[in-house]
Amino acid sequence: MMDALIVVDMQVGLLNGATNHDLPSVINRINSLSSMIRKGGGKVVWIRHCGKANDGFERGTPGWEFLPELGRHDDDLVVEKTLNDPYVGTPLAELLARMRPRRVLVAGWATDFCVDATVRSTVSHDHHVVAVSDAHTLSDRPHLPAKAIIAHHNWLWSDLLTNRTVTVVSTSELLVE
């Protein structure tokens, strides 16, 4: 059985504003995970946020494009969303139901908004979830540094009450499976 990887909102618009924690390494880890998933016969699903006018992610603007450093392939899937939760008003649930992945890995931007919504909604859609502990990022928030938010969410996800499993695993642990 194959796995799927959901990569959330890794778009040029995330470069606007404050620096995102460990971004070059997060991009490299996502590229490694994407290669692993494809070699195992799985699918990579790129979530693209379609924002409102002048928010940095408006459809067709430079910020809407995926980061050029990402190793995307033509046979990868793209799902466009307008909310934090990539299942609302999109075909994502149907795509995953047809794929029937063994588990769904989640990575991307921003840990406390769209990545968190994706982890929670994916497990609510009856999938086993792997939150990749070092493959999601965000910038510092006014009340907490990014590194603390990432640690908090990794802890939180590992203890969710769910009908499926949510595990928090590093990229290096996944690559040696």
Each residue's pLDDT tens digit, 7-57:
999 999 999 999 999 999 999 999 999 999 999 999 999 999 999 999 999
Residue 174 pLDDT exceeds 90: yes
Report pLDDT for 52.
96
DSSP sequence for 107-162: EEE-IIIIIHHHHHHHHHTT--EEEEEEEEE-BPBTTB-HHHHHHHHHHHHTT---
Helix (H, G, I), strand (E, B) or coil at 45: strand
Provide the 8-state DSSP code for 57.
-
In which order are the strands placed within the sheet that holds 129-137? 77-81, 43-49, 4-8, 104-109, 129-137, 166-169
Each residue's pLDDT tens digit, 96-118:
999 999 999 999 999 999 999 99
pLDDT band at 1 (very low <50, low <70, confident <90, very high): confident
- State the CB neighbour count (10 A cutoff) for residue 40: 12
Report pLDDT for 89.
98
Report pLDDT for 42.
98
Report pLDDT for 34.
98
Report pLDDT for 129.
98
* Average pLDDT rounded to a whole number, residues 123-146: 98
Report pLDDT for 172.
98
Domain residue limits, the chain: 4-175
Summary mean pLDDT of the chain: 97
Tell me if 40 sits within 8 A of 71, measured CB to CB.
Answer: no
CATH topology of domain 4-175: Rossmann fold (3.40.50)
pLDDT band at 67 (very low <50, low <70, confident <90, very high): very high
| Omega before residue 110 within 30° of 0, cis | yes
Beta pairing partners, 43: 4
